[in-house]
């Protein structure tokens, strides 16, 4: 048996309880990981509250961001061995990692950055995969492609919600890896503005004010790429107004009541990004895309190109409080805990 944070019914953060659960046994492609550190994300409270469909049965174990050490490997595991230190996000249709042990498919895992603690590593997987997939597949940007420098010359990107987990790593990736010349972010508080600049934003504008007017004041008629990390229903018209014709838009939540007329006339491409899509639908395919992204990220961190987005550490014994903080919408970067029951 093992200890874990779980729920037996959807509802408020108080429904989270420490429970006894059966220690899992690896399937053919699985790693059994002894968890050292975990992070929180909006997906945690959305699933806990019932806002997003899930396959929670009996005890639903929370958490999809973590770092730990491989204890066992499945019969068909190819790239990992017992003792490897790994980091991963996981699959929302499987039990999460806010537990003593967690199963994760090797194809969506990677060896953690050697220079980071488990806590700093746990801050990265979910948001890095979300940001990287959006830049690579949503914006169709590949720094390794021929003539990439000429393709990207003069281009600009706007991250709406730049101080959140996805925005924080997205700014770094856009500037340092995908080399977009102008990276702009939105933030509204002094501390979040400073954080966006620390992550590498060239300009920071206030999402409480008119975005297009602020871009114009900076000398931009619009941006080529817009990455919306907040509820797209809440700012749809305003954000689309900021995108230049033939531009591209990535959204990660809230596209249930939108008018696509603006997209049509300006030929704006819309890309819905959810990093859980691959784990959910990969089946028996040899899809190593997320392994590749996390492996590249680890190398970039160890080289000093990227930095962890961990900003705060919470007490794992008070996980419900971390959920409440996530729901407040005021979190900066990532919140991490050492796993200790």
β-sheet bridge partners, residue 245: none
- Tell me if 166 sits within 8 A of 252, measured CB to CB: yes
Q: Which of 218, 244, 272 is the last residue of a domain?
A: 272
Question: 228 and 106: one domain?
Answer: no
For 137, counting Cβ atoms within 10 Å of its Cβ (0-12 exposed, 13-18 middle, 19+ buried), the class is middle
Question: 119 and 132: one domain?
Answer: no
% the chain with pLDDT above 70: 98
Across the chain, what does the average pLDDT equal? 95
- At 50 the pLDDT is 87
Question: 257 and 136: one domain?
Answer: yes
Tokens encoding 47: 């699933």
Tokens encoding 240: 């689309």
306 pLDDT higher than 60: yes
User: What average pLDDT does range 110-137 have in this prediction?
Assistant: 98
pLDDT, one tens digit per residue, over 82-107 is 999 999 999 999 999 999 999 999 99
Question: 151 and 264: one domain?
Answer: yes
**What is the β-pairing status of strands 223-228 and 156-160?**
parallel
Question: 221 and 143: one domain?
Answer: yes
Domain containing residue 81: CATH number:
3.90.180.10
CB atoms < 10 A from the CB of 183, how many? 28
Domain containing residue 143: CATH number:
3.40.50.720
- Parent domain of 334: 2-124+276-338
296 pLDDT higher than 60: yes
Q: Which of 225, 241, 272 is the last residue of a domain?
A: 272
CA separation for the pair 62, 64 (Å, rounded): 7
Predicted confidence band of residue 153 (pLDDT cuts 50, 70, 90):
very high
Question: 284 and 184: one domain?
Answer: no
Q: Which of 242, 272, 302 is the last residue of a domain?
A: 272
Question: 44 and 108: one domain?
Answer: yes
330 pLDDT higher than 90: no
Domain count, the chain: 2
User: What average pLDDT does range 281-300 have in this prediction?
Assistant: 97
HEC profile for the chain? Answer: CEEEEEECCCCCHHHCEEEEECCCCCCCCEEEEEEEEEECCHHHHHHHHCCCCCCCCCCEECCCCEEEEEEEECCCCCCCCCCCEEEECCCCCCCCCCECEEEEEHHHEEECCCCCCHHHHHCCHHHHHHHHHHHHHHCCCCCCCCCHHHHHCCCEEEEECCCCHHHHHHHHHHHHHCCCCEEEEECCCHHHHHHHHHHCCCEEECCCCCHHHHHHHHCCCCEEEEEECCCHHHHHHHHHHCEEEEEEEEECCCCCCCCCHHHHHHCCEEEECCCCHHHHHCCCCCCCHHHHHHHHHHHHHHCCCCCCCEEEECCHHHHHHHHHHHHCCCCCCEEEEECCC
56 pLDDT higher than 70: no
Sign of the Cα torsion 6, 68, 278, 176 reads: positive
Question: 27 and 113: one domain?
Answer: yes
Predicted confidence band of residue 54 (pLDDT cuts 50, 70, 90):
low
Contacts of 198 (CB under 8 A, 6+ apart): none
Angle at 238 between CA 237 and CA 241, to 5 degrees: 85
% the chain with pLDDT above 90: 90
CA separation for the pair 26, 276 (Å, rounded): 20
CA separation for the pair 149, 144 (Å, rounded): 10
- At 148 the pLDDT is 98
Predicted confidence band of residue 58 (pLDDT cuts 50, 70, 90):
low
- At 3 the pLDDT is 98
Whole-number Cα distances in Å, 163 to 35, 204, 217, 256: 27, 10, 22, 24
Question: 213 and 289: one domain?
Answer: no
User: What average pLDDT does range 176-201 have in this prediction?
Assistant: 97
- At 55 the pLDDT is 63
CA separation for the pair 201, 194 (Å, rounded): 10
User: What average pLDDT does range 315-331 have in this prediction?
Assistant: 93
Higher pLDDT residue, 197 or 234? 197
Question: 133 and 261: one domain?
Answer: yes
- At 260 the pLDDT is 87
| pTM exceeds cut of 0.85 | yes
Question: 138 and 258: one domain?
Answer: yes
Predicted confidence band of residue 57 (pLDDT cuts 50, 70, 90):
very low
Question: 325 and 257: one domain?
Answer: no
pLDDT, one tens digit per residue, over 224-274 is 999 999 999 999 999 999 999 999 999 998 788 788 888 999 999 999 999
């Amino acid at each position: 048996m093992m200890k874990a944070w779980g729920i037996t019914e959807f509802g408020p953060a108080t429904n989270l309880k420490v429970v006894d659960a059966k220690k899992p046994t690896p399937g053919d492609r699985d790693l059994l990981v002894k968890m050292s550190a975990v992070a929180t994300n909006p997906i945690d409270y959305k699933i806990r509250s019932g806002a997003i469909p899930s396959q929670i049965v009996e005890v639903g174990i929370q958490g999809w961001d973590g770092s730990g050490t491989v204890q066992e490997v499945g019969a068909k595991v190819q790239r990992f061995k017992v003792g490897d230190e790994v980091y991963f996000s996981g699959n929302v249709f499987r039990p999460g990692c806010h537990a003593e042990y967690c199963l994760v498919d090797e194809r969506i895992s990677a060896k953690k950055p050697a220079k980071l603690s488990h806590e700093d590593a746990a801050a990265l997987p979910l948001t890095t995969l979300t940001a990287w997939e959006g830049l690579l597949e949503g914006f169709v940007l590949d720094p390794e492609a021929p003539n990439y420098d000429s393709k990207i010359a003069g281009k600009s990107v706007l991250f709406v919600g730049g101080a959140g987990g996805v925005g924080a790593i997205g700014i770094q990736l856009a500037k340092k890896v995908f080399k977009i010349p102008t990276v702009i972010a939105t933030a509204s508080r002094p501390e979040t503005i400073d954080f966006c600049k620390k992550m590498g934003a060239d300009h920071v504008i206030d999402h409480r004010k008119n975005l297009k007017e602020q871009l114009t004041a900076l000398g931009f008629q619009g941006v080529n790429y817009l990455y919306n990390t907040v509820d797209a229903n809440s700012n749809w018209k305003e954000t689309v107004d900021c995108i230049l014709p033939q531009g591209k838009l990535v959204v990660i939540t809230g596209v249930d009541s939108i008018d696509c007329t603006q997209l049509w006339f300006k030929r704006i491409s819309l890309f819905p990004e959810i990093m859980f899509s691959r784990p959910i639908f990969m089946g028996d395919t040899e899809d190593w895309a997320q392994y590749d992204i996390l492996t590249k990220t680890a190398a970039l961190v160890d080289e000093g190109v990227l930095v962890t987005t961990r900003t705060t550490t919470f007490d794992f014994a008070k996980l419900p409080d971390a959920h409440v903080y996530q729901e407040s919408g005021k979190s900066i970067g990532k919140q991490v805990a050492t796993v200790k029951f």
